[in-house]
């Protein structure tokens, strides 16, 4: 599903735009389901993610969140089973991996700015990569609505943003903005320096993240704890293997 050129780009730069893997109808269906969940869950939205002792940070005030989407509708199955995504995950993590979490994040108007960071214990893995992330764009990512920024090639560095930059919330000279139309999917080695930017529009900037980790790492959301029988039956053996349930 991936060309050798795409694999080489992912290895060199630490990220890859996989193209529009969702149709406009699929994007609309997902956004409709997310709206229902945000209403029904209210203040508890995203609580499964922040229930884990392995989460390093408190709940983000500048963004709307949902978690444990694995168990909240078949509309979300594609986000961790799409063959093009799975091949890209394996290009980063090898064959021994699992889904760590499937979450929704929408940068609120005027908010969403994050410092440049990495996603694995704030440490460098020396090529033995432990985590990767995919961003599924549920809105167009534009330069103005809080797209993710990334520093190409920084997954190979031996220092972290906090060690190099006086203020990792500020712009890095080598960073680029990940802009693309809704329905697109961007995968990145999560040891690559990255972070959200400020949403300068009057609407939330919506995305969904399927976050993967090496088999020997703790999941952000304990899939065994939350998995339902209905989900297990729906996704079959191959899906259960990805979830490690």
Contact by Cβ (8 Å): 72, 106? no
- The 3-state secondary structure of 131-199, one letter per residue: EEEEEEECCCECCCECCEEECCCHHHCCCCHHHHCCCCCCCCCCCEECCECCCEEEEEECCCCEEECCE
Of 38-52, 70-84, 118-132, the least confident: 118-132
High-pLDDT (> 90) share of the chain, %:
87
Predicted confidence at residue 200, as pLDDT, reads 98
- pLDDT of 111 higher than 70: yes
Residue 121 pLDDT: 76
| Distance from C-alpha of 133 to C-alpha of 209, rounded to nearest angstrom | 7
For residue 148, name the pLDDT band (cuts at 50, 70, 90): very high
Asked if 141 contacts 205 with a C-beta cutoff of 8 angstroms, the reply is yes
What is the pLDDT, as a whole number, of residue 56? 52
Q: Read off the pLDDT of each residue in 97-112 and give the average, rounded to a whole number.
A: 97
Alpha helical stretches, state H, the chain: 4-13, 24-41, 47-50, 78-81, 83-93, 161-164, 223-226, 229-243
Going by C-alpha positions, the residue among 89, 126, 62, 72 that lies closest to residue 1 is 89
167's CB contacts (< 8 A; 6+ apart) are: 115
Query: What mean pLDDT value characterizes the chain?
Result: 94
What is the per-residue pLDDT across 197-216, written as a single tens digit (0 to 9) for each?
999 999 999 999 999 999 99
4-243 folds as Jelly Rolls (2.60.120)
With 0-12 / 13-18 / 19 or more C-beta atoms within 10 angstroms meaning exposed / middle / buried, residue 199 is buried
Query: How many whole angstroms separate alpha carbon 226 and alpha carbon 69?
Result: 10
pTM as predicted: 0.95
Most confident range (mean pLDDT) of 47-61, 84-98, 111-125 is 84-98
């Amino acid at each position: 599903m991936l060309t050798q050129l795409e694999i080489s780009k992912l290895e060199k730069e630490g990220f890859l735009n996989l193209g529009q893997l969702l149709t406009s109808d699929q994007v609309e269906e997902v956004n409709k389901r997310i709206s229902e969940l945000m209403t029904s869950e209210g203040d508890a939205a995203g609580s499964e993610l922040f229930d884990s002792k392995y989460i390093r940070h408190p709940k983000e005030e500048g963004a709307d969140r949902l978690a444990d989407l694995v168990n909240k509708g078949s509309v979300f199955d594609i986000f961790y089973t799409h063959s093009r995504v799975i091949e890209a995950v394996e290009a980063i993590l090898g064959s021994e991996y699992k889904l760590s979490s499937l979450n929704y994040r929408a940068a609120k108007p005027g908010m969403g700015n994050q410092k440049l960071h990495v996603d694995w214990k704030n440490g460098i893995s020396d090529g033995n990569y432990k985590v990767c992330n995919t961003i599924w764009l549920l809105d167009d990512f534009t330069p103005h609505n809080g797209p993710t920024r990334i520093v190409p090639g920084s997954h190979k560095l031996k220092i972290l943003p906090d060690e190099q930059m006086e203020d990792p919330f500020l712009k890095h000279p080598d960073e680029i903005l990940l802009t693309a139309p809704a329905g697109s999917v961007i995968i990145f080695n999560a040891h690559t320096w990255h972070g959200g930017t400020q949403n300068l529009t009057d609407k939330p900037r919506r995305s969904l993240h399927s976050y993967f980790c090496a088999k020997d790492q703790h999941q952000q959301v304990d899939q065994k704890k939350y998995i339902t029988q209905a989900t297990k039956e729906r996704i079959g053996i191959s899906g259960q293997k990805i979830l490690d349930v």
